[in-house]
A and B are shown apart, each in its own frame.
Chain A
Amino acid sequence: MEFSGLSIEIILNTLQVLLPLLIILVIGVIALEVGLYLFLARVIKTKYALPYTLLAPAFVALVVFMIYPLIFNVLLAFSNLERSTFACYSPVSLGTCELDHLYGLDYAIQNFSDVFFRVRDGEIVGWGRLLRTADSTFPVLLGRTAIWTITNVVFHFGIGMALAIIMNQKIRFKGIYRALIVIPWAIPSVIVGLTWRQEFHAQYGFVNVLIQALGGQPVSWLDEPTAAFIAVIFVNVWLGVPFYMIMLLGGMQSIPADYYEAANIDGASAWQRFNGITMPLLRPIIIPAVTLDVIWTFNKLDVIFLVTGGGPQESTNILVSALYNAAFGPAATTELGFAAAFSIIIFIILFIFALVWITTSGGLKEIYDR
């Protein structure tokens, strides 16, 4: 008996796969942990045997699915993998390999320089094109990524803060407002992306219907580069505000009321109270939240992928979506060595930025110093 693709047999099948996985994981992890603990405590005799043991499963998972891919990518960046040399790198290819070495510094130099430079007849003639249009160069994409990240984080923070301040007043229906405003956070991003894409349709989307109802001119949201970029930013702002509102509201609610009472006795203005009490006390929440948000927004691929796909004319691509399009998109090349080099550069930019930001803001001290 099967209904809508589901039958008892399929359910049992899945359970047959997942339950043993769970059991093996549980038994295996416990056995490994005991072994590791005994090893650390008896053989190495470290007093930190227990914490290392507790951390081990998490780090094994991270090493397999984060570190190994990273190494794999570095290896790819040192390869000459492209259409004509695919046979050299694929174990099942029927083609013949004409390379004398598979990995080398010469390839890496070529791959990394392709990200930045456009070389014609041995001479650099300008910035390299990461995709097909003349505008798809590294500085343009980096600039657009900066605009994307800054705009998003500023709006996330600004709107989230404004809403949190209002919600922190004595106001009726607070629970209902909070429930409604949190909704964008709870909707699966695939649905958010595909739905907004449809709603930005020039003719049938509600955005233009509303604009026209209010007497405005319809906008070609998905055909005009600037409009399309505004559209994707709007969607991402819409998605990100609830997180901030909840974080900031939670912070505000845990500030003891007597701080404000004392300030009131001193005759402080609303702005003075906000600037003198709320902001400093919220700092331990704001700094990590902004740090994470910057990283997530910089790396945010799904909204752009689903709403505009990076188009029109590749003009809504940020670095990560350009990378996706270069490796998987409609204009994908098979030059995976180049794509790997590109991805490593993106990672390095973000890493350096995060390091500088963390050191200067000092905000993460809260996290690792307590």
Chain B
Amino acid sequence: MNRAKVLALVMLLVVALGAVSAVVAQDPVNLIVWSQDGDTNNVVLAEQFEIWAAANMPGATLEIVQKETEVLRNDLLTAGLAGSGLPDLVLGPNDAIGVFVDAGLLLPLDDLFDMSLYPFNLGAAQIGGVTYGVPTNAGNHLMLMVNTSLVPEIPQTFEELLAAAAAVEEANPDIQGFAYNLNEPFWFLPFVHGFGGSTYGEDGSMVLDSQAWIDAYQFVHDLKFVSEAVPQECDYACADSLFKEGSVAMIINGDWAIAEYLNPETSPGLVDSFAVAPWPELPNGSRPQPFTAGKFLSIPATVEGAQLDAAVAFATWLTTDPESVAAYSIGTGRLPAIAAVAVDPETDPILAQSNEALTTGVGMPADPTLRCMWDSVRPSLEGVMSDSMSAEDAAMEAQISAEDCLG
């Protein structure tokens, strides 16, 4: 062996060792996800990641940063302005996607994911034909939730609901018959849909002052001030806490809460007495229709390289692997977003009921202008619910405000 060969061999060894050590020494991937979801559901997400990482990317970690809807939206925009500090994944409802896409802060996903794996539900995350999110679950819809130990017969109409509530309150004055998040537009929109209204008119312009809106304002006003069927003041925390304690018989809440209500530790008042159902019918014979969309995973524009590969791989697995989808769905109490996983009414009656409620909903548009509707309806709804604004004025004010917002 001559010197040159030895030298070459040594060099090769060094390079090989270097490459190996580079691979070994490479920091394990840490994915940061900003999640708009609640605690219980984030725990499930973390568990799923563990399973995925153990099989596919040992050592990889997931950091879940919980952020409320508005906080998530603002923080992502601020980070975008600063040019750094964006997460690797964003998990949230589809209505924020429009704003982020406008700002150019999300990656188009069509080339990164196999979109044929998602046969439905993608429209809610598409803007201009481009997909910006993959669904972790379907739903995110509001429905009627009943404590069956207090109300054994699930009411089918609001008339029945009011009667049932009155009966509960008569039997035990400490228990509230019916409660929901009174001043939150997301809980109000289903009524509007039920009265035949919608956010956008036929020509695509925003219409917040049609007769349906006025009827809906009047209806929720009368629920509080005429039939006195709801508490004087109730926000999400109030309805949710009372329901968990067993101090309110019926509430309206979304699929995100199901997992907590099924957990005897967090919901001591609901053990073996929890049921969900579609909204009861309005006096006009149709049901209020909740917005449906599901939650979506999106990838911010700054993610690249190994981080991007890991984010795509994990998101793909989480949203398409049948076992993962099923586990995520059962763990979070939410509906699977792909057809390959079906809900079995035998083993999972609550999910089946939730699925039934889902079919009564209407899809939530991903249009960024939807924001203007939420913001404009809120003060009007607050005015109606404090009896300081008539239904007509409320609708008119919301319309003016929305036109302002649209510019």
| A-to-B contact residues, CB < 8 Å | 81, 83-84, 86-87, 89-96, 118, 129, 132-134, 201-204, 218, 220, 222-225, 311-314, 327-334, 336
Q: Contact at A129–B404, with CB atoms within 8 Å?
A: yes
Q: Contact at B405–A92, with CB atoms within 8 Å?
A: no
Report the nearest A residue to B302, measured CB to CB: A92
Given contacts A203-B233, A222-B233, A332-B70, contact A92 B105 (CB under 8 A): yes
Report the nearest B residue to A327, measured CB to CB: B74
In chain B between 71 and 89, which residues have their CB closer than 8 angstroms to a CB of chain A?
Answer: 73-74, 77, 80-81, 83-84, 86
Q: Contact at B104–A203, with CB atoms within 8 Å?
A: no
Q: Contact at B405–A203, with CB atoms within 8 Å?
A: no
Contacts of A84 in B (CB 8 A): 102
Q: Contact at A134–B382, with CB atoms within 8 Å?
A: no
A203-B233, A220-B386, A225-B386 are known; give 14 further A-B pairs, CB within 8 A: A83-B102, A86-B103, A87-B104, A90-B83, A93-B105, A94-B105, A96-B104, A132-B375, A132-B401, A202-B233, A203-B238, A312-B379, A313-B388, A331-B375
| B-to-A contact residues, CB < 8 Å | 70, 73-74, 77, 80-81, 83-84, 86, 99, 102-107, 183, 231-233, 238, 301-302, 368, 374-376, 378-379, 382-383, 385-386, 388-389, 397, 400-401, 404-405
Contacts of A223 in B (CB 8 A): 183, 232-233, 382, 385-386
Contacts of A333 in B (CB 8 A): 405
List 16 A-B pairs, Cβ < 8 Å. A83-B99, A83-B368, A86-B81, A92-B105, A93-B301, A118-B404, A201-B238, A202-B232, A218-B232, A312-B183, A313-B379, A313-B382, A313-B386, A314-B379, A331-B378, A333-B405
Q: Contact at A330–B397, with CB atoms within 8 Å?
A: no
Q: Contact at A89–B107, with CB atoms within 8 Å?
A: no
Contacts of B375 in A (CB 8 A): 132, 330-331
Contacts of B183 in A (CB 8 A): 223, 311-312
Interface centre among A94, A132, A201, A330 (most CB of B within 10 A): A132
Contacts of A90 in B (CB 8 A): 80-81, 83, 103-105
A138 vs chain B, min Cβ distance (A): 15
Q: Contact at A92–B86, with CB atoms within 8 Å?
A: yes
Contact of A328 among B70, B368, B388, B404 (CB under 8 A): B70
Report the nearest A residue to B375, measured CB to CB: A331
Q: What CA separation (Å) do A326 and B379 show in the bound complex?
A: 14
Contacts of B83 in A (CB 8 A): 90-92
